[in-house]
Amino acid sequence: MTKTVSNRDSKTNHFDIIVIGAGLGGLYTLHKMLGQGYNVIAVEQGKRIGGTWFWNQYPGCRCDVESLEYSYSFSEELQQEWHWPEKYSKQTDILKYINHVADRFSLKQKIVLNTKIIDARYDQIDNIWRLRSSKNDSYSCDFCIMATGNLSVPNPPKFPRLEEFRGDSYHTGLWPSKHIDFSNKRVGLIGTGSSGVQASTEIAKNAKHLYVFQRTANFSLPARNKPSDPRTVEAHKREYEKKRQAAFATPFGISGYPPPTKSALEVNDQIRNQIFEEKWLEGGTISFLYSFTDLLTNQTANDYASEFVRKKIRKIVKDPKTAELLCPHSHPIGTKRLILDSGYYDMFNQDNVQLIDIKNNPITGFTENGIIVKAKEYLLDAIVFATGFDAMTGALHNIDIYNHRGISLKQKWKEGPLTYLGLMTADFPNFFMITGPQSPGVKSNMILSIEQHVNWVAQCLETMRKSGKRTINAKETSEKSWVNHCKEVADKTLYPLGNSWYQGANIPGKKKVFMPYIGGVQKYKNICDEIVRQGYPGFHLS
Ligand code: NAP
């Protein structure tokens, strides 16, 4: 840094805290920090708030965590008064809830919409972060908090001659707010992760023809979604506080699932299949993964579970060739994000739906009218890209983030993310991440993890304020040991075999490193709390 005089000029909008992003993470950060008396704003690139739930307005979009769990816990009144119509909420209901929260807690006046931060630099002389938007607006703040999301940068695939297609095209992660009518249209959908499975099942209901272009078959389980049962809701709300506490005592941050006690190898075939069957009928991903203690740590145990689901697929899908193509063999079940569906496999029994294998016969090009596979042209009116996201690090790398030594975050993380607890990265002082890489975020109930992170940061800032400290920085040594710990934990499981977005495997050229912390929410929270109790060892406070 060459500047020697203070540069807090009046033209810059200076705040105590700037939060980047106004999704679920950004909104709670804003609320919490306002409550602590900070001068704070959130800056959001979208034209509306909501983050993930604003951008992903594709048909069929729904959460795979139960509504009563996937909601804020910070206000008893809010959680008591809000009514969720269904067990698993659809996107429109979640977006409604998000807007209700923002209105109820007067957050909208503190949000700058339509403003994309493209540059963030730490100024060591003034001990502030200087931010610049794509409109060339300047802001500065004492603390910069990234609530930019883990699945917020869509991955538009590169296909030969893609630009030639003259029909409509959409990416599930950038879906327009207006209703898109697919009735009587020939639709091609590329991608069979959670978004593709949800979107196709809905689009198939009225499209003239739907071609699902599948590269890798994935495991999907029945959601068994249903309207909220008033008695269950009432009982849950009576004990809400207890349920929220109980969620913190689980690995995924979701209460209500009795943990397994037996290995899948301890029981005979009949009992094992009976247990899988009960879980299949119950629906949900955690219930299934909780069939036995070792589905994610023991290959044989996992093989039993994988084969159970493959048998279900073969039973549901009438055409044996299609059924076999839908059977996943590329990864152990659960090591890629498990999908929850509402009739996905059954959809392939519809006359208007066809599965196209693009693993053995890749797409060779696009024409004005469709997609070419194996010299055959599939004529299409519209194409839906459900091709995923540059997960976990994508949104952070979309901003040029520089520290006082002129080192960019991209440079620092070129071999994969380096963080302490997924909360901070060494040598980037006063820069926090909400559910950053190497935290449980994406492997947990996201809202619970958001609240835990924001509360931790808020408490940290309060401690600093009381003790007159102005700067916090993660120590490189603690970062190193945390990164190693995350890897050690992952290496004891089958997750590294998954070739998933958890490890950046879906983005060509991205360094393959397993990014989430999978030691579980309860262990992680204990570690974070212990650090506070011990006075923040692992961080420099000055
Ligand atoms: P995803 O899981 O990464 O799936 C992307 C799909 O696109 C994969 O099938 C992938 O095939 C395919 N694909 C990507 N590039 C391709 C190419 N060039 N050619 C052919 N196929 C290509 O993405 P997602 O479905 O959007 O889901 C991402 C995550 O968002 C989920 O795992 C979940 O955590 C979250 N999500 C949650 C919900 C929910 O709560 N229910 C809903 C939607 C999303 P390969 O596997 O061969 O790469």
Dist. CA 32–CA 26, nearest whole Å: 10
Q: Where are the beta strands (DSSP E) in 466-538?
A: 472-474
The distance from CA 125 to its chain's CA centroid, rounded to whole angstroms, is 36
Residue 210 confidence (pLDDT):
98
Give the pLDDT band of residue 2 (cuts 50, 70, 90): very low
Q: Confidence class of residue 1 from pLDDT cuts 50, 70 and 90?
A: very low
What ligand 1 atom has the least distance to the C-alpha of 340?
41
Q: Is residue 74's pLDDT more than 80?
A: yes
- Cβ-Cβ contacts under 8 Å for 347 (sequence gap 6 or more): 200, 201, 204, 353
The 10 Å Cβ neighbour count of residue 13 is 15
Candidates 67, 90, 194: which one to mutate for ligand 1, based on the most atoms within 8 Å of Cβ?
Answer: 194
Res 12: pLDDT: 64
7 pLDDT more than 70: no
In the predicted model, what is the mean pLDDT of residues 183-189?
97
> Which structure tokens are listed for 24?
């679920």
At 11 the pLDDT is: 53
Phi-psi region of 284 (alpha: psi -120 to 50; beta: other; left: phi over 0): left
Q: What is the pLDDT of residue 51?
A: 98
Mean pLDDT, residues 473-485 taken together: 98
Q: Which of 124, 128, 134, 142 is nearest to 44 (CA)?
A: 134
First vs last C-alpha separation in the chain: 19
Residue 273 has pLDDT above 80, yes or no: yes
Residue 361: what are its φ and ψ, rounded to 5°? -130, 85
pLDDT of residue 10: 46
Residue nearest to atom 17 of ligand 1 (CA): 157
Question: What's the mean pLDDT in 534-541?
Answer: 97
Mean pLDDT, range 177-189, rounded to an integer = 96
Q: Residue 487: pLDDT above 50? A: yes
Whose C-alpha lies nearest to ligand 1, atom 15? 387
Q: How far is the CA of 73 from the centre of ligand 1 (A)?
A: 29
Task: Domains for the chain: give ranges and CATH numbers.
Answer: 13-153+391-536 (3.50.50.60), 162-385 (no CATH)
Summarize pLDDT for 516-531 with one digit per residue, the tens.
Answer: 999 999 999 999 999 9
pLDDT at residue 5, rounded to an integer: 33
pLDDT at 104: 98
Q: How far is the CA of 81 from the centre of ligand 1 (A)?
A: 34
pLDDT of residue 496: 96
Pocket of ligand 1 (CB under 6 A): 62-64, 151, 157, 172, 190-196, 198, 215-216, 337, 340, 358, 386-389, 501, 506
Contacts of 190 (CB under 8 A, 6+ apart): 157, 196, 213, 358, 363, 383, 384, 385, 386, 387
Confidence of residue 141 (pLDDT cuts 50, 70, 90): very high
Which of 57, 61, 215 to mutate to test ligand 1, by most ligand atoms within 8 A of the CB atom? 215
The residue nearest atom 8 of ligand 1, judged by CA position, is 191
Q: What is the mean pLDDT of residues 62-80?
A: 98
Ligand 1, atom 12: closest residue by C-alpha = 191
Residue 143, amino acid: F
Query: Ligand 1 pocket: which of 213, 337, 507 to mutate (most atoms <8 Å of CB)?
Result: 337
The closest residue, in CA terms, to atom 31 on ligand 1 is 194
Q: What is the pLDDT of residues 382-430, one digit of tens each?
A: 999 999 999 999 999 999 999 999 999 999 999 999 999 999 999 999 9
Using a pLDDT cut of 90, give the percent of the chain over it: 97
Helix (H) or strand (E) segment spanning residue 378: strand 376-379
What is the atom index within ligand 1 of the atom nearest the CA of 501? 3
According to the model, what pLDDT value does residue 250 have? 95
